[in-house]
Amino acid sequence: MTVAGLLESLPGAQRRLLADAPSGAELAAHPMLAVLTDRRDFDRDWIFERKLDGVRALAVRDGDHATLLSRTGRPMAGTYPEIVDALAAQGCRDFVVDGEVVAFSGGRTEFSRLQQRMGITDPEQARASSVAVTYYVFDLLRLDGQDLTRLPLRTRKSLLRRALRFVSPLRFTPHRNQGGPAELADACERGWEGLIAKRADGPYVPRRSGDWLKLKCARGQEFVIGGWTEPAGSRVGFGALLLGYHANGTLRYAGKVGTGYDRTTLHRIRGLLDEREQTRSPFGDPVRERGAHWVRPELVAEVGFTEWTRDGMLRHPRFLGLRDDKKPAEVVREEPRAA
């Protein structure tokens, strides 16, 4: 069936939800974001996708031109050229899709492995990399000049499955129609990040919405890097990164993370820190770390941890990687939304 035929096959009530679409770049500039929750009981109005440990990416195909953009609008074609090639090879010439770029290690998506590709911007160097990537596509925003964001999610996913050819490195993101404590426990046993619960009849909205919920297996989030400590003993680069999050216009101190680095990462991050060094602390709270160095709060780190302490510090934090798809100003303390 042709793309036009796919849209014409929709029920009349859904066809009336279609509208002339904004440009692909405009649609891709405002992705829908999920809310962290501790809710575990759901009815049949929800579907459940695997929470992938990668970077968000929105793809735009406009005639002969295909591009891949981060959730902040940064071009990613030089980093993942094989994905752009697959998008450009599609028979459909007008679409915007949303998804996640991942790298696998031992059958599991691993953010630290993806890090080895994230710093590459030269297409030829990226193609020569030993780190293979996969683009899991989970939503369709525009098709054949039509804005699909008002359609129910189930309908958008059905159109997505039929509009694109999913050959490596493109993959359709499957979903389950049932989710709860047992399904989350199974996901965690498989080594997944968790699940994303999505309201099956929900539209795609350009903001963070309770129609998409994050059910995590372990705690973790992004933090802004505000400084570092000197290395000790045989350690190179730095000892620990000083972390914070934004609250009421202030960068609040959340503690330090000194584990999770290999030697190459220590050297690379130290270079980025030196480029941003400043004399004044960016934190609104006192930081009692001897010999601390301060940086402009421009770098974002993904950090796993066990819990927050009573005084608002991270317990047992571990560095997972740098993120270049998150704006520092958007980093806040994530708290689960009550059921």
- Residues marked active site are found at 51
Q: Measure the CA–CA gap between 27 and 29, rounded to whole angstroms.
A: 5
Residue with the two structure tokens 């890090």: 115
Write out the H or E segment, with its range, that includes residue 8: helix 3-8
**112 touches 67 (CB < 8 A):** no
Q: Measure the CA–CA gap between 171 and 102, rounded to whole angstroms.
A: 11
Structure tokens at 231: 């290395």
Q: Measure the CA–CA gap between 87 and 89, rounded to whole angstroms.
A: 5
Select from 212, 186, 160, 260 the least CA-distant residue to 32.
Answer: 212
249: left (phi over 0), alpha (psi -120 to 50) or beta: left
